[in-house]
Structure 1
């Protein structure tokens, strides 16, 4: 599939999904008051992707024992396990419970925040900027998500291009003519993958679309030649693959890295340390975007402040990305307007 064919397919799917999601921005996709009427026991940790839980009206006291909907990402990435750690600290330190849902991540999550079927979600800072400003990718072009608001930035989302050593792919140029998994259709990963491939002049490739876990299986089975993964290292799906196969991480370095950063200013230099994955002993240069927590304007300020405080006052209870998630860095790379509840916490 050529780049233009891939792009048309991307627009057909994300355009349809985006229009449906954006249609709810006027406010009928859920009341968005953050007061779900769940039983508060936190037992439900995952709703199958594609199923949404619309918040129901609750009390006016900030939500004693109420359930909030938190949209994460695929189970093989970083968003989902990190979101469940947030769930633990929020439920231990507030009267809220979180329903953490596995999703297709950034672009899908923006739609859920737009129609207010999600109270909080993890998204990439570049996707947040595109959505808020109605630009960047055609799904959002001319359709700004005005109710999208930021809470905090978290950690670099490393762009990892993974292949098997036997595939003899050592640079991005070697991907010409290859079969590549660019991530779930409509995801932030796919957006980034297509941006990078276009920036370095790789336009002739066959595209596959699946989440990280399935992409690892495709590589192991020889169904694809390489896969793009966007997430904080180490990514569980790549760890699992590297434990059973000889993998190679394709660098984004030198002129290629400069071309990528010139094409899209939100990419920053990043490095995957040697030893992160079994058999990859040397540092690998690449680029990254930034992961962030987002919400929508319909969630009450005291709810957002309470959730934000629960997370950032209890960072010692986290085990994922702890070197990066700090109060001091929580506004670095914030690409959209801050929710007033988050501002109340960080400005205090």
Structure 2
């Protein structure tokens, strides 16, 4: 029943898609994250299941991460979409509000399309490390991620929240995720902080023997350091089922939200293409959840109220809100129809009996 009700309003989007495919495709780019991270897989899913059906050739571009993505979204020709962590986006806004003109120029024209999912903060140490929880990393040598990455922003923000101070400069290493794990194993750093959505290829593609040389630190919910970190980050769990060749049990940690971001475009063609993208995102959302990266199952097709300084992209917001209203109406109609079908009939009229409509 729900499928039939959804077919009507989805059909219009699919009909539009078929007419657009024959036209010359728009060539856009989405900036994501490292090659073995989650962002790049999310970008590939958006390209295949959302952009292609409406005639958009969406090239998926690897990057260092969120901070670089903000800059490329703002200044690089052809980049129409980006994946950005919430704490990086907020850091730009805070910096702009404090009077930094470059931060203001970079962030103020950017607009959100929708929130996606939570990315887990993986705090990795050697298997033989004496460290037990996140509270133990103070004054240790830490790889915080590459400059320009979301991981670097999260790692430094997390440390400052937990301990009330920046990581001592002599203790900071800016390494890629892969190089950080290698440095950890050979004892060049004590801790590697890696922000990535589970399950991550980074860990699942690792040699099993190397995996056994590293482990994750837990976030102790009772520790004051964890309480302070929750000003910005949220409790989560890294599941053993995400890494069956590595973890023996679930590990409590913290997360940061990922957002799909665009620019405040006004050109008619660009606005039109992004509106088609929004319609396709709605029409193909079930395909993303069924066929895309497992993280899509955590994504809700919704537009929650934003904190001050954050704004949705108005044309896409209008299309997505219309989509949400249609989906809600369809679900409600299906539920009502199911309730009527199941409701027992207490009496029958003579006319209903004659027409064999009541037994």
State the TM-score, normalizing by the size of structure 1: 0.73
Distance 1:141 1:84 in 2: 29
Deviation, 1:192, is: 1.2
Are 1:303 and 2:270 counterparts?
no
Aligned residues of 1:220 and 1:241 also touching (Cα < 8 A): no
Q: In structure 2, which of residues 70, 73, 88 is the aligned counterpart of residue 127 of structure 1?
A: 88
| C-alpha distance 85-142 of structure 1, shift in aligned 2 (>3 A) | closer
Q: Which residue of 2 aligns with 1:27?
A: none
Q: What do residues 149-168 of structure 1 show as CA deviations (whole Å, max 9, x unaligned)?
A: 00011101111111221223
Deviation, 1:135, is: 4.4
Aligned residues of 2:52 and 2:58 also touching (Cα < 8 A): no
Q: After superposition, where does 1:158-237 map in structure 2 within 5 Å? A: 158-201=120-163, 203-204=167-168, 206-237=171-202
Structure showing greater Rg: 2
Q: After superposition, where does 1:1-348 map in structure 2 within 5 Å? A: 64-117=24-77, 118-132=79-93, 134-135=96-97, 145-201=107-163, 203-204=167-168, 206-241=171-206, 243-244=208-209, 245-246=211-212, 247-254=214-221, 255=223, 256-261=225-230, 265-277=231-243, 278-298=245-265, 300-315=270-285, 316-317=287-288, 318-320=291-293, 321-328=295-302, 330-331=303-304, 336-348=310-322
SS of the counterpart of 1:152?
strand
Q: What do residues 270-307 of structure 1 show as CA deviations (whole Å, max 9, x unaligned)?
A: 11123322332222221111101000012632222222
SS of the counterpart of 2:188?
coil
Distance 2:204 2:182 in 1: 12
User: Once superposed, what is the RMSD of the aligned Cα atoms?
Assistant: 2.7
Q: What do residues 186-220 of structure 1 show as CA deviations (whole Å, max 9, x unaligned)?
A: 32211111122222227456221122233233334
Distance 2:102 2:249 in 1: 39
Q: What do residues 59-114 of structure 1 show as CA deviations (whole Å, max 9, x unaligned)?
A: xxxx8412001111111211011111211113431111011111111111111122
Deviation, 1:138, is: 6.9
Q: Structure 1 unaligned runs (5+)? A: 1-62
Which one has a larger percent helix, Structure 1 or Structure 2? 2
Aligned residues of 1:77 and 1:212 also touching (Cα < 8 A): no
| C-alpha distance 231-137 of structure 1, shift in aligned 2 (>3 A) | farther
Distance 1:184 1:230 in 2: 12
Q: Structure 2 unaligned runs (5+)? A: 1-22, 323-359
| C-alpha distance 325-332 of structure 1, shift in aligned 2 (>3 A) | farther
State the TM-score, normalizing by the size of structure 2: 0.71
Distance 1:70 1:183 in 2: 21
Aligned residues of 2:29 and 2:80 also touching (Cα < 8 A): yes
